[in-house]
Amino acid sequence: MEKIDLAIIGGGINGLLVAYEYSKKYPDHLVAIFEKEKYLGEHQSSRNSGVLHAGIYYPKDSLKRRLCIEGNRLWRTLAKELDAEINPCGKYVVACNDQECSELDQYYKKAKENQVYGIRWAEKSEIEKLLSYVHVKKAFFSPTTAILDVSAALKGLERVLYNKDIPILFQDEVVEINKEKDGFILKTTHEEIFTSKLVNAGGLLAVSNRKKLGLNDLEDEWVKGSYLKINRNYYTDHLIYPVPEKNLKGLGVHTSFDLQHQVRFGPNTENVEVIDYSLSEKIIEDIVPSVIKTFKGLERKDFALDYSGIRSKIKYKNQIFSDFWIKGPTCEMSHGVLNYIELCGIDSPGLTSAPAIAKYVLEMIAEM
Ligand SMILES: Cc1cc2nc3c(=O)[nH]c(=O)nc-3n(C[C@H](O)[C@H](O)[C@H](O)COP(=O)(O)OP(=O)(O)OC[C@H]3O[C@@H](n4cnc5c(N)ncnc54)[C@H](O)[C@@H]3O)c2cc1C
């Protein structure tokens, strides 16, 4: 049976970056990535808003805040290494009425407490400019929020891993995991392999993967988000976000655009139990009212269905667990399985945080 040092389940942004960081620290070790799909990043990593978040919304002591702020910074150099463009557009968070103004004040305070770089109130001239797009009474600006060309980043990672001889085994699903004394035997679609260490970066399936090890205290709480595109000329220089929804299932329907400046609105939030990315016209009815409440000059006929993604949220012992769940064998609330690290509940800002998550995982590996 073939033996390797590290097996990574999942060819999303997190699995790929863990492999990349590991190969820098342990250049002589054998690593392999198992990806059940035909292409990279078929799930969350290519079905998101592509936004590098600044770290505004998360609790101060959370991994989400810390890794988001660090990841945002790390992407600036990493994107260059991977030939992936970043549009440093920044974002306005806008309040339309008195109620939203007081909520905006709270988010501004939170952003300051979270030590988010460069947060400032919008000046009168900026509000006047914003008024041509949106109904706005008050707004703040986040200069480090940006757009990443995610597809170029994934391709760049595929290229650098190929150059380092790290195989990405496509259409090769890990179907069984057997714990051995000094590692694991993985049964996959095509082979049986022994690995000394195992990282589960399975995204939406990370919880079901850990069940193969007998770990049953997490459950999935998937939330689908769909996007609409604008089918006529529409341009905003900056991202524009409303004050977020109270329950923080999402950040509210907001603008996003790609590097070609195709503007879209979304994502909405819908609890789902199966992975199904199909879109129905009902989504237009769901999203458009909240868009035209904030954005001016748009009508229903301007919107068309675009794409959807599913956020990998989790429940721990039946309660929503809203932080990233990144656990090794010895940390707080650890699963206790030697030589095993799991990345569960990596929803937004998981793209932004990915380079910092990879470094965090490497620290855990060094301690194993
Ligand atoms: C609608 C939406 C909007 C978002 N917007 C943003 C944003 O603007 N900014 C931001 O920072 N984050 C955003 N996110 C979050 C971000 O996209 C994710 O946190 C990130 O992509 C997670 O990457 P991942 O590698 O952990 O998981 P994934 O990309 O889901 O990859 C996991 C991979 O593992 C594979 N896999 C699973 N189990 C197995 C197995 N047993 N064998 C083989 N392969 C397996 C899957 O096929 C999959 O390809 C958004 C997410 C969604 C859904």
- State residue 133's pLDDT score: 86
150: pLDDT strictly greater than 90: yes
- State residue 196's pLDDT score: 98
Tokens 């001239």 belong to residue: 125
Mean pLDDT, range 175-197, rounded to an integer: 97
Tokens 């956020």 belong to residue: 311
CA of 129 to the centre of ligand 1 (A): 36
**pLDDT tens per residue across span 56-76:** 999 999 999 999 999 999 999
CA of 33 to the centre of ligand 1 (A): 15
> Which residues form ligand 1's pocket by a CB distance below 6 Å?
9-15, 34-37, 41-45, 47-51, 53, 173-174, 201-205, 209, 225, 267, 309-311, 343, 346-352
Mean pLDDT, range 126-143, rounded to an integer: 95
Question: What is the position in ligand 1's atom list of the atom closest to the CA of 50?
Answer: 8
246: pLDDT strictly greater than 70: no
CA of 98 to the centre of ligand 1 (A): 37
CA of 314 to the centre of ligand 1 (A): 13
**Phi-psi category of 230—alpha, beta or left, where left has phi over 0 and alpha has psi -120 to 50?**
beta
Lowest mean pLDDT among 26-30, 126-130, 153-157, 252-256: 252-256
CA of 298 to the centre of ligand 1 (A): 31
Candidate of 351, 357, 360 to mutate for ligand 1, largest count of ligand atoms within 8 Å of Cβ? 351
Lowest mean pLDDT among 118-122, 150-154, 177-181, 234-238: 234-238
Mean pLDDT, range 86-99, rounded to an integer: 94
Q: Indicate the length of the chain as a whole number.
A: 368
Question: What is the position in ligand 1's atom list of the atom closest to the CA of 204?
Answer: 30
- State residue 266's pLDDT score: 87
- State residue 263's pLDDT score: 86
* Mean per-residue pLDDT of the chain: 94
What are the residues whose beta carbons fall under 8 Å from the beta carbon of 46, sequence distance 6 or more? 40, 150, 151, 154
Protein residue with least CA distance to atom 27, ligand 1: 203
Question: What is the position in ligand 1's atom list of the atom closest to the CA of 350?
Answer: 19
- State residue 70's pLDDT score: 98
Mean pLDDT, range 356-367, rounded to an integer: 97
Question: What is the position in ligand 1's atom list of the atom closest to the CA of 172?
Answer: 43
- State residue 245's pLDDT score: 65
* Alpha-carbon distances, residue 324 vs 48, 199, 347 (angstroms): 17, 15, 8
Protein residue with least CA distance to atom 35, ligand 1: 10
Q: Which domains does the chain have, with CATH numbers?
A: 2-48+151-220+316-367 (3.50.50.60), 91-143+223-311 (3.30.9.10)
248: pLDDT strictly greater than 60: no
CB of 294 closer than 8 Å to CB of 94: yes
CA of 351 to the centre of ligand 1 (A): 8
Cα separation, 101 vs 279, whole angstroms: 34
201: pLDDT strictly greater than 80: yes
Cα separation, 200 vs 16, whole angstroms: 12
CB of 118 closer than 8 Å to CB of 72: no
Q: Which sign does the torsion angle of CA 63, 64, 70, 75 carry?
A: positive
Report residue 255's pLDDT band, with 50, 70 and 90 as the boundaries.
confident
- Torsion from C-alpha of 186, 18, 154, 143, nearest 10 degrees: 150
Question: What is the position in ligand 1's atom list of the atom closest to the CA of 14?
Answer: 25
153: pLDDT strictly greater than 60: yes
**pLDDT tens per residue across span 261-283:** 788 998 999 999 999 999 999 99
CA of 163 to the centre of ligand 1 (A): 24
With 0-12 CB in 10 A as exposed, 13-18 as middle and 19+ as buried, what is 330?
Answer: exposed
Mean pLDDT, range 10-25, rounded to an integer: 98
Q: Which sign does the torsion angle of CA 319, 346, 43, 336 carry?
A: negative
The amino acid at 315: K
- State residue 67's pLDDT score: 98
- State residue 235's pLDDT score: 78
Protein residue with least CA distance to atom 13, ligand 1: 348
CA of 189 to the centre of ligand 1 (A): 21
